[in-house]
Chain A
Amino acid sequence: GAVVSQHPSRVICKSGTSVKIECRSLDFQATTMFWYRQFPKKSLMLMATSNEGSKATYEQGVEKDKFLINHASLTLSTLTVTSAHPEDSSFYICSAPPGRMNTEAFFGQGTRLTVV
């Protein structure tokens, strides 16, 4: 099946700094990628939809200035958590559908962010 690679898998950063998370589709092109946030023992919550060549679409309640999304190419989307605070600590997962009409999405391995 298609492969989505997410990096880093774990990151610890200090409060006030920014951290970038990368999501790559390794063997297919993705015009759309999705970014989810997962709190401990909770479900996945869609944060935003990343669109190649255009602005990301953010879900209600998600601060676009804090969670910067860039989809610079058909194989790479990045999520930058700016001015990170401890409450931003969470598990972040990206996913990408291989094609418009394909029914399945493929998920990255996730990134555990800890802000100290």
Chain B
Amino acid sequence: AQTVTQSQPEMSVQEAETVTLSCTYDTSESDYYLFWYKQPPSRQMILVIRQEAYKQQNATENRFSVNFQKAAKSFSLKISDSQLGDAAMYFCAYRRLDNYGQNFVFGPGTRLSVLP
């Protein structure tokens, strides 16, 4: 079974600075997807960024980028120029390439605080 680990239960960052959230996963599959989801106090799950395992190029979305190391099964999220609105729970998620629907495996989450 696949597992996702986030070793940092809590992180904090000064506004405008950069922070990196760690994620490792375990799978025997060769093709899969990885995601970072953000859950603000409203509890709505919001997609931050996604990465296809077959792509070597790291995904980027504006201030958010990932460092995907497939051999090491590592998928960290870097947030640049942190803003107060970035404060939230961040979940790393794995999705296997399933023909029918999508079954996500979520990590335990990292609570990010942004200090003014």
Contact = CB atoms under 8 A, between A and B. Distances in A.
Interface string B89-110: 0010001000111111111110
A72 B79 CA distance: 41
Given A32-B100, A49-B103, A43 B43 contact: no
A37 B109 CA distance: 14
Interface residues of A, number: 24
A104 B100 CA distance: 13
Most buried by A among B35, B47, B105: B47
B33 interface: yes
Interface string A21-32: 000000000011
Contacts of A110: 43-44
Interface string A84-113: 000000010101010010111101011010
Contacts of B35: 104
Most buried by A among B42, B103, B107: B103
A107 B45 contact: yes
A49 B108 contact: no
B110 to A, nearest CB: 10
21 contacts: A34-B102, A34-B104, A41-B109, A43-B108, A43-B109, A44-B91, A46-B103, A46-B104, A46-B105, A93-B43, A93-B45, A95-B104, A100-B99, A103-B50, A103-B52, A104-B47, A104-B50, A105-B102, A109-B43, A109-B44, A112-B43
Q: 9 nearest interchain CB pairs?
A: A32-B101, A107-B45, A97-B102, A43-B106, A110-B43, A44-B106, A43-B108, A105-B102, A103-B33
